[in-house]
Structure 1
Amino acid sequence: MSKPLILVTNDDGITAPGLRALIRYMAALGDVVVVAPDSPQSGMGHAITLDNALYSKKMKVDLENGAKEEYSCSGTPADCVKLGLQVLLKRRPDICVSGINHGSNSSINVIYSGTMSAAIESGIEGIPAIGFSLCDYSWEADFRPAETAIKKIVKEALDNGIPKGVVLNVNIPKLGKEELKGIKICRQARANWKEKFDHRTNPMGKDYYWLTGEFELLDRGEDTDEWALANGYVSVVPTQFDLTAHHAIQSLNNWKLHE
């Protein structure tokens, strides 16, 4: 039997160390094809390119790293998946993995994440998908302690599938291999960002702003991704892309909309 085909993408760009690590780990499980942004696209969410041309370039493959083919794309992470599935890949992948992101995508961060949006785009197309993030923003982050957990999660997904309409949001604490306690299936913690804008003026007298803020955890539950990460576990949150608030339908049907 042929090996599973694994589509690898990210939002930090095709040269990001986290992507290179993920390619190596996936090469042990299947045939890897990479389609990733040609420059960093963090915080792009599920943006797609509509008013500009998309460009793709076939990259020279680092044979030691394990990919069969690599392509850079001028667009967003979601664009990379769309272009990969519709144009670049020779057959439908068995799974899409996105990451390893430099920095957390736990809790409310999933909303803004380009890493997770690439996974969600694959899920929309019916392809099992997982987004991986390490809670370390450094470009020199050590991804080696995460290898075993990442391979285990992907292998289980390949063997057992992922429920329809669901993608997995996996976050890994910044810990040594010996310090990681295991893997926990979690829910997304309730949290938000208490934001502010740093107002500055450039030498020409024009105002500009830098977005800053503090993460505000509103959830003390011990079944959340934030609890798992704080206590040394890899968190796995099943995330759906049907945004319907089903529990609110009955309440809204009581509105006097038809009078």
Structure 2
Amino acid sequence: MAKKNKPVILITNDDGISAPGIRALYEAVKEFGKIVIVAPDKPQSGMGHAITIGHPIRLDKVDTFEGVEAYACSGTPVDCVKLAVDKVLHRKPDLCLSGINHGPNHSINVIYSGTMSAAMEAAIESIPAVGFSLMSYDHHADFSAAQHYARLITEKMLKERTTKHMLLNVNIPDLPLSDIKGYKICKQAYAKYQEKFIERKDPGGRKYYWLTGEFLNFDNARDSDVWALANNYVSIVPVQFDLTNYTLKKRLEKQWKDTTTRKGKEPVKKIVKRSMRKSE
């Protein structure tokens, strides 16, 4: 394949441009196309889909990745994608890869995750995207299994016909590759954190709080991401940014019929029926 025809792949994350996970992702997929990296200049975990609007955003070119165009961004993961498209690439990349995140982004975590929000921003902009997360918070975690599946999934997305809004949430167990059974296409589990805040006082006597919590899984389905990961499978969840509950929408359309009147006159339905009789 000629170099000029190689796909352009944008890589980003939420752990910061110096995190081992983003280097592992780059090393895993660098053979597939022209790589451009735009990532936060500091950790931005838990930022969700936040954007920067109250102060300027800085974008500094870095030589962290030899021979690769890479930038450190002072903004959020979503800012990174927006700036990459508008000011770095001046075009939409063929694929956006986010991660490899240090820690899981299964179930409810997808709502809070900067990793997945960066990928989601790309999908909103009609760029197929994937967020990769390893089930380990260890800074020195072994990313080799995650790299294997990042290569596999990236190659599939580039070779096969994908929709322009395709968005995948991929979580990899913290296991040697030989212990992983394969991957499963899953649904997002119904699970959440039972949260509480630890209250403390600073040296000046002012209260401050640390968020803690226990992860609770309420979903026993064998096709959920939590089940797959607990059973040594990689979970792949197709995600969408349309949050409409279509089942509830249909039910409310039937149950919540609009009986309001127009300008104090008869309900719309009666007006329509009467006019129909006149035309008969």
Which residue of 1 is the match for residue 9 of structure 2?
6
Q: 1:129 to 1:161 in 2, by over 3 A?
A: farther
Q: Does 1:49 align with 2:63?
A: no
Cα distance per residue 1:146-200 (max 9 Å; x no partner): 2221101011011114334330000000000110111111111110110000011
Q: Tell which deviates more after alignment, 213-222 or 83-92.
A: 83-92
Structure 1: distance between partners of 2:110 and 2:19:
20
SS of the aligned residue for 2:78 comes to helix
Q: Does 1:81 align with 2:81?
A: yes
* Cα drift, residue 61 of structure 1: 4.7
Structure 1 unaligned spans of 5+: none
Cα distance per residue 1:194-219 (max 9 Å; x no partner): 00000111111101110000000000
Q: Does 1:129 align with 2:132?
A: no
Structure 1: distance between partners of 2:113 and 2:174:
19
SS of the aligned residue for 2:51 comes to coil
Q: As a proportion of its length, which structure holds more helix?
A: 2
Asked whether the equivalents of residues 4 and 31 of structure 1 are also in contact (C-alpha less than 8 Å), the reply is: yes
Asked whether the equivalents of residues 105 and 113 of structure 1 are also in contact (C-alpha less than 8 Å), the reply is: yes
Which residue of 1 is the match for residue 271 of structure 2?
none
Q: As a proportion of its length, which structure holds more strand?
A: 1
Per the normalisation by structure 2, the TM-score is 0.88
SS of the aligned residue for 1:36 comes to strand
Structure 2: distance between partners of 1:238 and 1:85:
23
Per the normalisation by structure 1, the TM-score is 0.95
Structure 2: distance between partners of 1:166 and 1:193:
28
Asked whether the equivalents of residues 127 and 165 of structure 2 are also in contact (C-alpha less than 8 Å), the reply is: no
Which residue of 2 is the match for residue 150 of structure 1?
150
Which residue of 2 is the match for residue 255 of structure 1?
256
Asked whether the equivalents of residues 57 and 73 of structure 1 are also in contact (C-alpha less than 8 Å), the reply is: yes
- Report percent identity of matched pairs: 54
Structure 2 unaligned spans of 5+: 261-280
Cα distance per residue 1:87-134 (max 9 Å; x no partner): 111443110000000000001100000000000000000000000000
- Root-mean-square deviation over aligned CA pairs: 1.3
- The aligned length equals 256
Matches within 5 A, 1:43-122: 43-63=46-66, 68-122=68-122
Amino acid at match of 1:125: E
Asked whether the equivalents of residues 39 and 71 of structure 2 are also in contact (C-alpha less than 8 Å), the reply is: yes
Q: Tell which deviates more after alignment, 106-115 or 249-258.
A: 249-258
Structure 2: distance between partners of 1:147 and 1:164:
24
Which residue of 2 is the match for residue 18 of structure 1?
21
